[in-house]
Chain A
Amino acid sequence: MASRFWTQGDSESEEEESEIEEEENEVEAGDRDGGDTAARSKYLSKTASDSDESDDQRRVVRSAKDKRFEEMSLTVDQIKNAMKINDWVSLQESFDKLNKQLEKVIRVTESVQVPRLYIKALVMLEEFLAQALANKEAKKKMSSSNAKAQNTMKQKLKKNNKLYEVDIERYRASPVSEDDVDKSDEDDDEDEDSEVDVEEDPAKLAASYNTESDEDEDEEEGQDEEGGWEKKKSKRDKLMDKQFMRDPSEITWEMVDKKLKEIIAARGRKGTGRVEQVEQLTYLTRVAKTPAQKLEVLVNVVSAQFDVNPSLSTHMPIPVWKKCVQNILVMLDILAQYPNIVIDDSVEPDENETQKGADHEGTIRVWGNILAFLERIDNELFKSLQCIDPHTKEYVERLQDEPLFMALAQNVQDYVERMQDMKAAAKVALKRVELIYYKPQEVYEAMRKLAEMQTMTDAAAFEADLNGGENGDMEDDYDSKAANVEPKPSEDFRGPPAFIVTPEIVPRRPTFPEHSRTLMDILVSLIYKHGDERTKARAMLCDIYHFALLDDFSVARDLLLMSHLQDGVQHMDISTQILFNRAMAQLGLCAFRASLISEAHGCLSELYAGGRVKELLAQGVSQSRYHEKTPEQEKLERRRQMPYHMHINLELLEAVHLICAMLLEVPNMAANGHDVRRKVISKPFRRILEINEKQTFTGPPENVRDHVMAATRALSKGDWEKAYKVIESLDAWKLLRERDNVLDMLKLKIREEALRTYLFTYSSCYGSLSLDQLTTMFELSESQVHSMVSKMMIAEELHASWDQPTRCIVTHNVEPTRLQALAVQFAEKLSVLIDSNERAFDARTGGGLDGPLATRRRDTQDYAGAASGRWQNDFSNAQGRQGGFSARPNYTGARNAGGQARTGASGATFPKDRFGQGGRAGAAYSSGYQSTRYQDAYSSVGRTPYQTGSASSAGVRSTQPDGAARMVSLTRSGRF
């Protein structure tokens, strides 16, 4: 199979090229037609999979592609005109233009093949030049500028034509137009990958090889030895390399070295076939004379394989990827077999370093960087998963390559650990962590099983898998091919037996511990010990994510708080920020499952604040109405996307977020019903609710929002049964593990919040309420009701007290009347006015406020702390508001700082004790970072059940305002 691929790869035939062209153009066409990005991305993803486009689109395609060619032929016409009048200056201009257009055309077609038109023009120019040079007389007559232009043209042409020598030669041999050929195969709609495996017409193959050998001959003219060898080599398909087959020992180290250098030198040059290069190098691996040389060649093979796919946005063909992995594994084999060989990219090794044989004493250095290869491999795997349509079988098959990558990473890690390069080991470990952190135990289990199964399947399965690209036994087989221990007769890939036989030393199979947690622990602790800052941060986030996935909320939260990641995350790269967001989302879900509603809301609310969840989690692109993105931005964004299998279900996330908001917000709204400046817990929720309330008719709920809104309406009336039913009918619950437990929890929470809402709303209408009545109304146990009501009394949310002998709640009816409320507001505004006056005076006189006034001010503050009930609440609110918007962030900032500081974890286990200052001072530093969303996401997360002021848990008795910043003290007593 490999050879088939290679054959195809290095063929000069026009079919492949034309197909690629087509696809590319179709993409363009889609873009042009639809104009909307959705369509475009659809096509983009299709390029990799299938393409049964309709015919009319192909029409457009043609024209789009032709446009480039038209431009080109126009230029050629200009050149012809210039030739007629012997105008070298404009000729030179046109030539430059032509070259530029050529680049464009090549970019469009994405091929290495130069259009025939161009070659034709080159031939024409060359002939004309020769003619002009021959005509000495005409030359004398030319103006100086014209002569000069002619001279430059001569040189340019000479240089330029060298690149296309082959093509020109071929053109000269058969000047028949091949343009038709270009178009003849357009029905062939195979995609790139499958096409690779398509068996081709043998005649064409032969032809392509002939042309290739011609090319080689041209290149190697004058070098008898090399040329001959090269020729043989290229014809190996029909009859493999007679000379070497007969007597492989004739090949010397120098020959291999020379050839290697030659191939490397050709790299990146125009007209060098990338695939072809890989093939040549692969061949060299088999004739390499020393292990070190083999290693060196392999390094180059791998680099060349990476070159096969030139574009950043598309992924490397999967078969190439697999071969690449195999090559690296062979490299590791060599390194393991000969411990004296060292691969490293810091020093340039000696010229003849690799000549040293296997029995050489001392270290042999080979240039290369295994870690970089691994990272690239990982990158390509990621990219391919991004590009492949997740609903196809192909995607699943691609996912099955993960164990292969794991094996590779494991081996590389072993190697770098052996080399004592712990930094690199940490990086490799991170790659492995990033592959498993998002997998719940079941998925992990599945992967483990798959890996085990692959180990067991025997070579028989291989044949079946040959085309499918199953990673399983391909490895072994390919390996035997690479080392060529026993070349299979069935294959057309018949090389000489390799000089250096590399036995399989490193395991080809990943080993997985029973639990993903165990594996994570091992890797993560290695990273914490040796990794650099970024590696550690990422590992920490993965760790948090994984803990949250395993329902270990408190551990995950502690890790987040102790690591202080939220402090610096906005300075990190975007992909780490995305990881942070993902971890936060997961943490939120975890808190929800653990029935920690306000924590869950804290985690999620920031993600939903801007309505850009998709973007923040890199799970799709959301269109913004307000600013258009440039194509570059879009491209970048697309490159960041998470592959489908890593997605966090957005519907579930939204449901969780809104339900949390509902549970917090409904009682809150009921509590502060006729207070104008009520505290808002969740802005997005309020907005949605407002929109919903504006509707004249409300239909039955359809999406998540509608459901939650319907539940909200029911809940605010105290109808918990209906609210629960609506919530329960959401589809997203199917995605939860332990669905029943979560729903039970939800039921309980809804009842509790319904009780609170009921009390808030109707307590003023009752003189007394009996406990029994409440228990039956909300189906809660007596102790639950008692506990909840007591909490509300202590927090002074409910102005009532128990009458113990009769078991009922007696309300005190201290709710202010409208007039009283206004009076309170008025008084409060007055004091604010005085405050600002004093502050203004302070600012003017430079703080020279003398004794009595200053102390009085402090008094008021104390008073604010000691005052009780609603008044206090209003007062603090006013403070916050009065400070304008700048004060607001401070408000939350202080809150946040408080929570953080208290809960502390003073960077103890994480070696950064930024916390030393204590949390009080936090007000200042946290105000700054409130603006960034990533930061925000955290800000409310903390261990803040108290500070968030969720009515249920607000403090019993506020601590006195102490020497802290004013904002802090005020907010702390905010909910008295």
Chain B
Amino acid sequence: VCTGQVWMCVLMLCDCVCVQAQKLLRERLCHQKLPDQPVGLDSQYKHMLELLRRTAVHGESNSVLIVGPRGSGKTMLLGCVLRELMSLREVQKNVLLVELNGLLQTDDKIALKEITRQLHLENVVGDKVFGSFAENLAFLLEALKKGDKSSSRPVLFVLDEFDLFAHHKNQTLLYNLLDVSQSAQTPVAVVGLTCRLDVLELLEKRVKSRFSHRQIHLFSSLSFSQYVDVVRAQLSLPPDFPDPKFSDEWNHSKLCDDKTVEEILRRNFNGSKDFRSLHSLLFLAVSRVSVSHSTLREADLIEACRLISADSKANVLHGLSILELCLIIAMKHLNDTYDGEPFNFQMAFEHLLQLELVRPVDSGVCKVQREYQLMRLMLEHGQVMEALQKYPQCPTDVKQWALSAFG
């Protein structure tokens, strides 16, 4: 009994430590906490900080666009800059921050309401009726002035998904914000975040002319070795981890040096350089850590990679009945013979239709009888074959049929 209890205790302790480690890593991968210093974006960081500092401290108006593909760290960069900026005492009590998102503020009215709310001016505006957007905005900015004319508070406008604001009617919001930033009124900084490289072409001429044409491009020029370093850093436990022995053991595992792991990472790196996809890969791997195997092993990563890179439609095929599979195969052959021409069916195949593996061709003009509606196969040749290979207990003659060259 005694040895049993001790064993249990050891197990629980171990459990505890490993769960803790897992929790810590998952938080790191999931919560998108701001890093202490943005990786590989030093010059952009400096530029951005200087720009916003000018507005916040010296009251110079500015406008800038941060452009970069999804997951390239635009929001992270801005977050870091704002964190540093707000740590200055004079800035903290003086600067106002307004954050808008193109996905949320879908038109200028909503945006204006949101600006009012974020500036805490609802009570000032009350139930005034404004004739125009510009007046309303001017009123808001006016309300921010602290008594005397020369010392109005700087306002930072952050427009996430900037390109969506360009679709608002007449681009009134942008026109007015940029116009304020061009004329010596309240000091404002307009920071736009977007992933569209052609965002300037979306702006109307008069809006474009008022934009300062400062763009900060974020393209990650990370090399593979740097990428692996990041993985290592992401997976290592911090020095203040409660169980030093465990963390030491964890940190010294030679996971990243493993050949297969490196291959997986390279594959992922080739796919995309952004950290979001990396995080989701690592997250899956870390989730597999349990009491029974308390360290991260290459098998975990391989499994995670398999899950992530699995073809979604091939997965769906696995769930089909033999009959439905036959249909698919028939269609595949049709596709091969007639080189992708649309085909029709006299059979019922609603299920396939529901799964969107086949889809009717849009016939805008006339209603065709249901049986004769033209259909398209939404599967690649390889996908079908792969699914067939993996299909549990697939009749061999079906497989044969699929492999044969003729329908």
Do the two shown chains form a genuine complex with each other? no
Q: Which residues of B contact A (CB under 8 A)?
A: none
Q: Which residues of A contact B (CB under 8 A)?
A: none
